[in-house]
Structures are given as structure tokens and as C-alpha cells.
């Protein structure tokens, strides 16, 4: 009997997998915080035999090294992998036994040159499911531009390799096998992933443009490489750590959980290069926060947005966080390689207020009041959603300034009058507001509830823009 547990992290839209059979187990693409897997093994009285990696991840730090050390289990990569640590570099079609089942390596380069999928066969040898990593997503495939510099290949060349991998290695497999991808919708590792996290290969052959025969190889290359957004700037650093090694999370937690009084926190914040990161809810931050702090809330797409707006994983960070979420915040920062938290505000923001320290706020306006003034004024409106969201529907005359490009958009906000900022629901716009305020922009007003609330007003909307 094979037991499968999917550990899906919504923040990163990332799936890792625990497989167990007859007292032995394997883990595919583990999170950095590996207790999930050791706990599952303990419950099943199983020995983790292998740690499989589909490729060198760019969007998160894997737990492969920590888990291997804790369980004395080898790490397995596909062909062409070149890590700085001991591991098994598997051959294409090499089989690994786990209890009564097996996992076969299918080398599927294209996303990266070492990218591999893992085919699980049941006790009777039946092909049951395929763990596809970032090679094949549901509705999409992995982006081909992350490894091009290291491999001295163009994204077009890698896209062509990916096309051959998917069609020659995955498409011939039985229709009824299940596809378990490395990511779902929301990940920066692909463009148009489905919200579902498991599907049959048959359905993917019907709907996925790389598998359904609707595009030639050349057309696929053009489609895949068209309008690729720049990857987050922290991606190369994560690849490097996954290749070369990193500090165990337990050590990171020990050094980062430093409680600082309001006075100590304020003094530390004056050191060069320090970032104050406030991870409370966006409404709490908008109402009151420490001047010049940056907001990225734990209850949104936390880790990827930290990576996008801070970019430097070595950035020293001071945390403003509720006492009950300190370890969670440090752990989730570490998942994307931000290991340099130097302390947190003891007692949270309430202690800052009690110490009579300076407080700032973000000006806000309801969508209804925004609609009233918009009808009689030519307002400066900035939409910080992705370009694809903006193209689908946006306020007439609104300027698209995606949050992930904010570093290059500072000058756009140099206006004489008020500037109104919104996103889809209010999370990303507060991030943008906090960054811009820290850079000296103080004429900003956040539209509460974002575009979803704006749609319920009479503000003119331009719908369904076709960019092809």
C-alpha cells in the first residue's frame, strides 16, 4: 500500500510530496522546514530512504540538505545536476525502490537542464502518478528563462528542449496517470497555471497547449517566451543556496528570535541598511505603523512578495509581528532565503505605542468616496496589479505600474497632487504605499478594497483588452 501526502504551501503555491510504502518513505522537493516529513515518518514508523529533487529551485530554499542529514538518506537529482555536496546523480530511467513501490527518473530538461520528473509505480508495477516539478504544470509548463545564463542557452533554445521533453517523455505515458506538479496558480515559475493542484494526464493532453497538438514546436516556443515577466531578483540567490548549501532552519530560528524593547528596536533601526518589515494585516499597517517601515503581510502572498520588494536575501531585517506569529514569520522568510532577521519588536506594535514613539499612517479612501471625486476630477490613478490583470479590466485612464516593477517606477509617482493607488483587493497596494512612502512620496491615497470594490461603483471600467 502506498501512502501519499501532499504538503502544499499556498504562500509559494508550491507542492512537496511524501511517499510511504512498507516501512520506507521518500520525499520529493521538501520545504526548508522539514518537520512535516519527519513527523509523517514517525507516525508511519517508516525510514525516509531518499530525498528526490526535481531541479535546483529558484523560488524557494529546499529542505533537502537538512532532511538528508536528519534521516541519513541520500539526495537524488536527475542527469546534468552539479551540486557542491554529495548526492546521487541519477541516470535517465533509473529506478529506485521504496518498500513495495518504485520511482523512476525521467529526465525532462527545458525548465533547467537537470529538470527531471519522477514516475511512481504501484506494488504491481502499474504506472500510477508523475511528479513533474517545474517541467509540466496544470495548464502550462515551466518558464525557460531561469537557467539560460548559467547554461549559455537562449530562452528560445530551452523552450525547444522543454517541448521535446514533454512530448517525448510525458505525453506517451498512460492517460489515467495522475499529474502532481511542483507549483500551482500564483507561482512565478510559470505564466498561466490552473488553480487545481492535481489532474489526469488525459485532461492535460486535452487542455494543455504543449500536449494537445494545437501548436507546432516553433509556435510553442513563440507562445512560451512571449511576454515573460522578469523573474524576481532573489531567484538566482535561491538557486545558489540550493546548489551550494545553507544553514539549518533551527540555527536561523535561534539567532533570529531576539526580543527587542521599543528603545532597542529604534536604536537598531538606525543602523545602515536595516529594513523594518511589518507583517501585520494591511488594515492595521495602514492605520498606524513605524515610520519608514515596509509592509508585507503574513496573511497574503508573503514570501514571494518579500523576495520581490526586498530582493537582497542578505538584507538585515527587523520584524514587527504579533507575539504568536514570530516563529512563523522567521520560518516563512527563510523559505525564500531571507535568513538575516536580527530581532523583533517585543510586545508588537502596541509596545511601540506605549513607549510613545513616532507613528505614521497611510491615507485611505473608500471605493464609494473615490467614485464620487473621480466623477468630477481628473485623478492620478495607479493600478499596481500585474499587466495581465490590468489588460483584462481596468479603470479608464488608470496607469498600470505593477508592484513587481516598483523599483523602476518611482519617478512615475512624482505628481503635484494626490495619487490614488489600488490593486485587486488591498494587499499589494499597501505594500506599494509603504515602499513609496519610505522613498519620500507622501501624496499617496490607498483605495480600500481595491479593484474588486471599485467594480461595485459607477467608475468607468475598460474591459477585456486583447493584446494579441
Q: What is the DSSP string of 341-405?
A: EEEEETTHHHHHHHTT---B--EEE-HHHHHHHHTTS--EEEE-S-HHHHHHEEETTPEE--GGG
Do residues 189 and 59 make contact, with C-beta atoms less than 8 angstroms apart?
yes
pLDDT of residue 467: 45
442: helix, coil or strand? coil
- C-alpha separations of 416 from 335, 379, 412, 428, 436 in Å: 41, 11, 12, 24, 15
Residue 213 Cα to chain centre, angstroms: 30
Contact 290, 437 (CB under 8 A): no
Residue with cell 521533453: 165
Distance between CA 6 and CA 179 in Å, rounded? 12
pLDDT reported for residue 168: 97
Domain 2-235, CATH: 3.60.15.10
Beta bridge pairs of residue 136:
141
To the nearest 10°, report the CA torsion of 272, 275, 276, 278: 180
Query: Per CATH, which fold does 247-354 belong to?
Result: Oxidized Rhodanese; domain 1 (3.40.250)
**Who's near 387: CB < 8 A, 6+ residues apart?**
229, 400, 402
Q: 159 in helix, strand or coil?
A: helix
Q: Do domains 247-354 and 363-463 have the same CATH topology?
A: yes
The CATH code for residues 363-463 is: 3.40.250.10
Domain ranges of the chain: 2-235, 247-354, 363-463
The residue to which cell 499529474 is assigned: 179
* Nearest partner of 143 among 127, 126, 155, judged by Cα: 155
Q: What is the pLDDT of residue 150?
A: 65
**Confidence at residue 291, expressed as pLDDT on a 0 to 100 scale:** 97
Inter-residue contact 35 to 58 (CB < 8 Å): no
At 115 the pLDDT is 97
In this structure, what are the phi and psi dihedrals at residue 408, rounded to the nearest 5 degrees?
Answer: -95, 0
Give the model's pLDDT for residue 146: 85
Query: Do 417 and 351 contact (CB within 8 A), yes or no?
Result: no
Q: Nearest 5°: phi and psi at 466?
A: -95, 125
What pLDDT does 375 receive?
Answer: 83
List per-block mean pLDDT (blocks of 10 residues) for the chain, which spans 468 residues.
77 94 97 96 96 96 97 98 97 98 98 97 95 97 81 89 97 97 88 90 96 95 89 91 96 97 97 96 97 96 91 94 96 96 97 97 97 88 94 95 88 87 97 94 95 96 69
- Identify the pLDDT of residue 230: 82
Torsions phi, psi of 207, nearest 5?
A: -110, -20
Quick one: pLDDT at residue 465?
52
H or E stretch including 336? none
What pLDDT does residue 468 have? Answer: 44
Matching residue, cell 494526464:
201
Task: State phi, psi for 381 to the nearest 5 degrees.
Answer: -120, 130
| CA torsion through residues 437, 439, 444, 446, sign | negative
**CA-based nearest residue to 165, from 82, 76, 54, 59:** 54
Query: Which residues contact residue 361 at a Cβ distance below 8 angstroms, ignoring those fewer than 6 apart?
Result: 286, 287, 288, 289
Of 46, 40, 34, give the one whose Cα is nearest residue 75: 34
pTM: 0.92
- Find all residues with CB under 8 Å of 67, minimum gap 6, and list them: 27, 30, 34, 37, 38, 48, 51, 73
User: Exposed (0-12), middle (13-18) or buried (19+): which is 72, by Cβ within 10 Å?
Assistant: exposed
* 441: three-class secondary structure by DSSP: coil
Amino acid at each position: 500500500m502506498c501512502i501519499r501526502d501532499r504538503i502544499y504551501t499556498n504562500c509559494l503555491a508550491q507542492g512537496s510530496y511524501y511517499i510511504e510504502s512498507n516501512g520506507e518513505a521518500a520525499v520529493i522537493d521538501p520545504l526548508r522546514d522539514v518537520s512535516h516529513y519527519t513527523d509523517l515518518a514517525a507516525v508511519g514508523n517508516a525510514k525516509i530512504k531518499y530525498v528526490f529533487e526535481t531541479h535546483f529551485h529558484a523560488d524557494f530554499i529546499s529542505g533537502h540538505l537538512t532532511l538528508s542529514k536528519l534521516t541519513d538518506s541520500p539526495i537524488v537529482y536527475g542527469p546534468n545536476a552539479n551540486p557542491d555536496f554529495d548526492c546521487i546523480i541519477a541516470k535517465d530511467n533509473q529506478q529506485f525502490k521504496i518498500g513495495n513501490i518504485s520511482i523512476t527518473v525521467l529526465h525532462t530538461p527545458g525548465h533547467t537542464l537537470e529538470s527531471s520528473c519522477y514516475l511512481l509505480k504501484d506494488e504491481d508495477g502499474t504506472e500510477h502518478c508523475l511528479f513533474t516539478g517545474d517541467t509540466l504544470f496544470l495548464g502550462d509548463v515551466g518558464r525557460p528563462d531561469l537557467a539560460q545564463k548559467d547554461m549559455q542557452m537562449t530562452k528560445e533554445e530551452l523552450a525547444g528542449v522543454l517541448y521535446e521533453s514533454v512530448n517525448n517523455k510525458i505525453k506517451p505515458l498512460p492517460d489515467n496517470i495522475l499529474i502532481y506538479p511542483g507549483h500551482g496558480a500564483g507561482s512565478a515559475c510559470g505564466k498561466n497555471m490552473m488553480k487545481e493542484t492535481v489532474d489526469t494526464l488525459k485532461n492535460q493532453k486535452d487542455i494543455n497547449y504543449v500536449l494537445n497538438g494545437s501548436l507546432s514546436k516553433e509556435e510553442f516556443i513563440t507562445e512560451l517566451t512571449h511576454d515573460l515577466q522578469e523573474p524576481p531578483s532573489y531567484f538566482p540567490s535561491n538557486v545558489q543556496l540550493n546548489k551550494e548549501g545553507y544553514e539549518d532552519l533551527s540555527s536561523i530560528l535561534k539567532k533570529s528570535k531576539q526580543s527587542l524593547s521599543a528603545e532597542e528596536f529604534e536604536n537598531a533601526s538606525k543602523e545602515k541598511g536595516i529594513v523594518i518589515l511589518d507583517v501585520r494585516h494591511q488594515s492595521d499597517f495602514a492605520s498606524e505603523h513605524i515610520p519608514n517601515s515596509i509592509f508585507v503581510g503574513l496573511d497574503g502572498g508573503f514570501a514571494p512578495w518579500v523576495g520581490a520588494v526586498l530582493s537582497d536575501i542578505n538584507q538585515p531585517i527587523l520584524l514587527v509581528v504579533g507575539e504568536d506569529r514570530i516563529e512563523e514569520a522567521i520560518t516563512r522568510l527563510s523559505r525564500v532565503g531571507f535568513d538575516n532577521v536580527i530581532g523583533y519588536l517585543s510586545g508588537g506594535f502596541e509596545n511601540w505605542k506605549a513607549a510613545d514613539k513616532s507613528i505614521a499612517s497611510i491615507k485611505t479612501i473608500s471605493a464609494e468616496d473615490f467614485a464620487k471625486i473621480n466623477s468630477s476630477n481628473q485623478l492620478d490613478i495607479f493600478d499596481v496589479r500585474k499587466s495581465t490583470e490590468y489588460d483584462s479590466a481596468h479603470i479608464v485612464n488608470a496607469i498600470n505600474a505593477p508592484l513587481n516593477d516598483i523599483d523602476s517606477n518611482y519617478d512615475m509617482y512624482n505628481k503635484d497632487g494626490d495619487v490614488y493607488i489600488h490593486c485587486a483587493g488591498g494587499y499589494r497596494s499597501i505594500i506599494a504605499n509603504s515602499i513609496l512612502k519610505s522613498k519620500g512620496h507622501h501624496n499617496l491615497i490607498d483605495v480600500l478594497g481595491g479593484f474588486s470594490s471599485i467594480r461595485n461603483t459607477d467608475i468607468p471600467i475598460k474591459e477585456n483588452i486583447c493584446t494579441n
